[in-house]
């Protein structure tokens, strides 16, 4: 039985995860996988997180590339050619005389170039810094999303298991009532209708149970896909430990301010806006001159046909000024394109900010109203349990039928299912709220994990 997974300093990388899982499976097989273990395993095994880490590593190289444009550029070139020369020139008598000769020429040149003034390179370096911030924020966003994806998969699996358990309990009760109805009919006090109605409920329960078991397999597979390990048992919710806490901070406006400062979604788009702004500066720099320091050392031999078998050793150092005069309108076009991209980035940021506010409000209400809903359903379950007790007593007294008892029990089961779902939704709303605000981390996962119990 698989228990849970944890990355350790001694076991780094994918191999570390795999080896530790093997140890867990052989030494702690009595424990069930809990939310915290699933989250830690997903950190190392989830493909989206791995892809985000790789993208972040790739994005960081953008800054190194931009910085390299300001470092000296040193190059070396060497050539060696075999030349065939056909010449025709008049002799002393004025008659053209043809000559043929072969010779080798060679050249070795060492060039040093240092940019002194280049506005596009300055803008490119500034832009690279924001592109790195963009890549970092994308990884942070995936990390935030991972908490909600693990929570949704985990609690979805628990809800499916609860549904199976409730249906099995209802099936047991229905079979008991069917047996009682059959005995009552044989004793002359029951009716065939009671038997048929209970049997019909049993047949419906069988169909629902088949669907619920399929849902268990499906939701369990979602957990497996996140952690890339088999799962045989999940730690259930410990209702006695569950704390129905309101949001902290208590007001929605405070959560909005937190999201504005910390949400990776906002950070990503803010970085893209700044990167687009520097793209405009980089494009406009195409109109400006550039200035480079250039030093060369060249050694050549027989490089010119007029001076065969002559060697040259040339050293030079100076400034190279390049002034763009006309490029066919290319620079103006890139500037207009960069301005349009900047406007798109600004509007995308504003649209995301508004959408984030809506989603944040939904999860904030999910927490605040989730507390009230759970408490209301807890009372509904207690009332349904009392209704079952009363129906059974009335059935024994001959006032109610077996069908009335079955209906009361079905109502109790539905209330218990709704209560379990409300508890999971409340916990998920807490995870989603902190993730949207950019605050979800292992601490928030551990807090919710404390409400679970290992068998």
Question: Which pLDDT value is given to residue 186?
Answer: 78
Q: Write out pLDDT tens, residues 141-180.
A: 999 999 999 999 999 999 999 999 999 988 888 888 778 7
Question: Which pLDDT value is given to residue 19?
Answer: 34
Q: Are 200 and 405 in contact (CB under 8 A)?
A: no
Which residues 6+ apart lie within 8 Å of 310 measured at CB? 301, 302, 304
Residue 445 within a domain: yes
395 and 349, same domain (yes or no): yes
The count of structural domains within the chain is 2
What average pLDDT does the chain have?
87
Please check the confidence at residue 284 and state whether its pLDDT lies above 80.
yes
Structural domain span for residue 313: 72-117+289-323
Please check the confidence at residue 220 and state whether its pLDDT lies above 60.
yes
HSE of 33, CA atoms in CB hemisphere, 13 A: 31
What does the alpha-carbon distance between residue 169 and residue 177 come to, in Å, rounded to a whole number? 12
79 and 147, same domain (yes or no): no
Q: Write out pLDDT tens, residues 66-102.
A: 999 999 999 999 999 888 888 888 877 777 888 788 8
295 and 431, same domain (yes or no): no
Residue 4 within a domain: no
Residue 1 within a domain: no
Q: Write out pLDDT tens, residues 76-86.
A: 999 998 888 88
Q: Look up the CATH number of the domain holding residue 133.
A: 1.20.1600.10
423 and 336, same domain (yes or no): yes
Residue 161 within a domain: yes
259 and 381, same domain (yes or no): yes
pTM: 0.79
Residue 39 within a domain: no
Buried/exposed 161-196: b ≥16 CB within 10 Å, e otherwise: bbbbbbbeebbebbeebbebbbeeeeeeebeeebbe
160 and 226, same domain (yes or no): yes
109 and 157, same domain (yes or no): no
276 and 401, same domain (yes or no): yes
Residue 52 within a domain: no
Residue 80 within a domain: yes
236 and 318, same domain (yes or no): no
179 and 296, same domain (yes or no): no
What does the alpha-carbon distance between residue 405 and residue 392 come to, in Å, rounded to a whole number? 6
Question: Which pLDDT value is given to residue 196?
Answer: 83
Q: Write out pLDDT tens, residues 20-62.
A: 333 333 334 446 899 999 999 999 999 999 999 999 999 999 9
Q: Output the CA torsion sign for 389, 393, 396, 400.
A: negative
DSSP assignment string, 352-393: HHHHHHHHHHHHHHHHHHHHHHHHHHHHHHHHHHHHHHHHHH
Phi, psi of 80 (to 5 degrees): -145, 125
270 and 382, same domain (yes or no): yes
346 and 334, same domain (yes or no): yes
What are the tokens at 173? 């009760």
What does the alpha-carbon distance between residue 27 and residue 229 come to, in Å, rounded to a whole number? 16
Q: Write out pLDDT tens, residues 110-146.
A: 999 999 999 999 999 999 999 999 999 999 999 999 9
Which residues 6+ apart lie within 8 Å of 297 measured at CB? 109, 110, 314, 315
Buried/exposed 342-366: b ≥16 CB within 10 Å, e otherwise: beebeeebeebbeebbeebeebbeb
């Amino acid at each position: 039985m698989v228990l849970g997974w944890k990355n350790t300093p001694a076991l780094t990388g994918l191999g570390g995860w795999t080896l530790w899982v093997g140890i867990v499976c052989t030494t702690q097989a009595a424990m069930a996988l809990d939310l915290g273990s699933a989250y830690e395993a997903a950190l190392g095994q989830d493909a989206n997180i791995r892809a985000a880490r790789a993208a972040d590593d790739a994005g960081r190289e953008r800054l190194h590339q931009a910085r390299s444009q300001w470092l000296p550029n040193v190059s070396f070139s060497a050539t060696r050619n075999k030349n065939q020369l056909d010449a025709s020139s008049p002799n002393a008598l004025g008659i053209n005389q043809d000559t043929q000769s072969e010779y080798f020429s060679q050249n070795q040149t060492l060039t040093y170039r240092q940019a002194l003034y280049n506005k596009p390179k300055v803008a490119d370096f500034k832009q690279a810094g924001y592109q790195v911030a963009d890549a970092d924020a994308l990884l942070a966003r995936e990390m935030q999303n991972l908490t909600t994806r693990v929570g949704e998969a985990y609690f979805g699996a628990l809800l499916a298991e609860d549904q199976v358990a409730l249906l099995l309990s209802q099936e047991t009760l229905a079979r008991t009532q069917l047996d009682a109805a059959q005995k009552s009919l044989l004793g002359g006090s029951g009716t065939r209708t009671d038997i048929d109605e209970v049997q019909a409920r049993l047949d419906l329960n069988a169909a629902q149970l088949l669907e619920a078991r399929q849902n268990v397999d499906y939701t369990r597979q979602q957990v497996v896909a996140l952690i890339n390990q088999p799962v045989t048992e999940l730690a259930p919710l410990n209702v006695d430990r569950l704390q129905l806490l309101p949001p902290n901070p208590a007001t929605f406006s405070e959560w909005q301010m937190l999201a504005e400062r910390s949400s990776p979604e906002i950070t990503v788009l803010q970085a893209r806006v700044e990167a687009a702004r520097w793209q405009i500066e980089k494009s406009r720099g195409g109109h400006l001159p550039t200035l480079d320091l250039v030093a060369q050392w060249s050694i050549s031999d027989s490089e010119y046909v007029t001076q065969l078998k002559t060697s040259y050793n040339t050293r030079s150092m100076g400034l190279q000024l390049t002034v763009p005069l006309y490029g066919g309108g290319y620079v103006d076009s890139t500037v207009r394109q960069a301005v349009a991209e900047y406007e798109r980035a600004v509007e995308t940021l504003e649209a995301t900010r508004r959408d984030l506010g809506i989603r944040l409000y939904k999860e904030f209400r999910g927490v605040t109203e989730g507390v009230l809903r759970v408490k209301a359903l807890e009372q509904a379950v207690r009332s349904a349990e009392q209704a079952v007790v009363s129906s059974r007593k009335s059935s024994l007294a001959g006032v109610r039928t077996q069908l009335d008892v079955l209906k009361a029990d079905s109502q109790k089961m539905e209330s218990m299912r709704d209560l379990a779902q409300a508890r999971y939704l409340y916990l998920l709303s807490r995870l989603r709220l902190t993730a949207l605000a950019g605050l979800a981390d292992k601490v928030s996962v551990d807090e919710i994990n404390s409400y679970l119990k290992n068998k």
